[in-house]
Structure 1
Amino acid sequence: MFAADALFALPPDESSFHDFADALTDLVPAVEGNVHRLRRAPDDAGEVASLFRALHNLKGDAALCRFAPGVAIAHPLETLLARVRAKEMPFDGAMAETVLLALDRLELTVEALVRGDTQTAPGNLRLPALIAGLERLAGAPPAQIPALALEVIEQVTGFRPTHLDDGDEPPAPRTPTVPAAPAGPQQDDLQFFRSLADRFEARSPRYAGRTERQRDLALDINADAGQPVPPAQLEAAVYLHDLGMMLLPDPLWLRPGSLTDTERQALMRHPEDGAGLLARMPGWQAAAEIVAQHHEMPDGRGYPHGLKNGAIAPGAKILAIVDAFEAVMLKHKDRGLARSTLRAVAEINACENQFAPEFIAPFNRVMRRRLERPGE
């Protein structure tokens, strides 16, 4: 068993590690593409061979820069794919989800080390449990592998995956939400705010359905938590939290990928633009506060003002989780893959130090209900 502190240390050659991190950014989408195609055609020998080579190269690159987590994760995955290539067992949905989860955790580990987070990330990512589980899988009899894969996923994420046979997580079903506001001026305002959100959404096909997904999830989390935020204020904040993005040049926020420091500084000003509009309208001060603070973090590392936990509005804490969850789902879509609700939930939990813990539990309960009742 690997100790978490042994896994969370920069390799001796930091330059080589940063090269590995850059290469991983390109390699992971290619590997995910292989996995996605294999879920559709599990007997495709060419795709099996391609995935095996990618994992072999990943292990080799990690070994060159002496990055222990990369080797520890890639080696048992490579062994599993060697067995699939030898036709000992099929490449099924449980195995596919395990490979993707392992890659997610590897990416998050690299990102944590690059930003210097060696304190909170190790416990959240549960790397020792993941690596031990992958090693068990690599040597298990073929008949035991599907069940063991599900156990590994549950141990690492806290969720047991369902509906893996067709290769895609089903879309999260809507659950009953709290009515936002009675008819009248407040409802008229909400309809106007929604029209602005629809304009934002229409700027790119990447955002199709985004507003409704975020509104429903935010209201469901709020309801599960005992409704600490007036629903109408939270709904208004969902509609206008990214209004400031529309004032930026399109390439700055419509394209996927990393930003320059100058672009990042411009982007970090967007919460105050949407908040400024709401603050000037009677009756929406609470929503304005939520919008202004939705990128703040409990530890003070957020923006635009570096507020800490007690100074952040409850609605902003909810919206931070909702916004991050949608961003992870969008990342999957940008890579040309089916959205994976399970993996997105697991990533939010792996980064839970970025969010208010009092709302992570309601988020998990809401998502568990959605994952357990597909199709409703």
Structure 2
Amino acid sequence: MNTPHGADTFTCPEFLAMERTIIDDFVDCTREACEEAEVCVKELNNGGGTAYIHRLFRAMHSLKGNCQMVGLGPFTDLLHRIEEIVARVRANQDPYFRELGEFLLLANDEVEDLLNDLIAHGFTSDIRRKKLFDLCDALQKNSAHGFQPQHFKDAIALLDGKAESNDTVSKPQKVVLELPADMELMRKFAAHIDNLSIYRKNRTDQVAQLTESLNEALNFLVDAEQLKVASLMHDVGMSFIPHSIFNKEGVLSKEEVKKIQEHVVTSSQLLLRFGGWDEAARMVLDHHERFDGSGYPNGLQGEQIHPGARMLSIVDTFCSVTNERSDRSYKRSLLSAISEINANSDSQFDPQMVEVFNSVVRKLIAKQ
């Protein structure tokens, strides 16, 4: 459906009118399906068997079905065309090859971008949607003798050039040298760190919402604005850590651990540079201290740790567990996370705050 913003855009009123919790659930399911597709493509590129083809098809089918369920008709049609490509491989009509998998991942990224744009602005680019639809259509029509790697290479090149699409070129934006509000800039920094890993999608927003709830349950023990800023900025220093360490799987060396630990200093120093956020800077500096004194960077203990940092420590660990990729349901993941928090009460976390956080999580589970 075209919008007042022009014939080059479309919107989905039925979807946008839904409750925010439903939209958030849809976003979570979409992210999980895209992550599953990424895992399957990676395994298939490394010689994985037909089981990964079936899993890939189910992931694409879930994406399409979820869109259909919430009234995203234009996305349903698009994802059906993408799904048809996987269906041919699943039915042994065509072989799987690396270029096909890379195209599917790029197509999923494009769908996610369009969905995020729709949610953020209420409309998104119909030119980009049609371009991807037409590419999928062309791949089908040009495959009378089977899918060819070169056809997918060409499609990848065309899709990867979306930054130069007509809607972007026809609407150049002027860059104005101006200083945005602190909170706006901090949100951009937080979004950047969240985009560096598939395990951090919307992580900072989750931390900010839960710390706000915990602070409220504690009768606003600390200043709400300072706590929000600390929640947004607590991990921004991680973006200065080399990617080889940030995304490393397995055991870190002592030097790598030291590099990771530096992020609390970097993040707090950035806040001091902003000015007016000294309390938030202290919360960020202390949020990896442990209640028993075995944390970093200063080995503080108990009440020596800023109360905002004690809240942030609990919530940050909780969100870390619930954002891990696994086959568990969301509700079970919540229970696993709160079990870990309770198991470390009085050693890692403030036991009184843990008790209050339990009630916050119970309300969260009830909503789910």
TM-score for both structures, normalised by structure 1 = 0.48
Structure with the bigger RCO (C-alpha within 8 Å, sep 6+) is: 1
Bigger radius of gyration, 1 or 2?
2
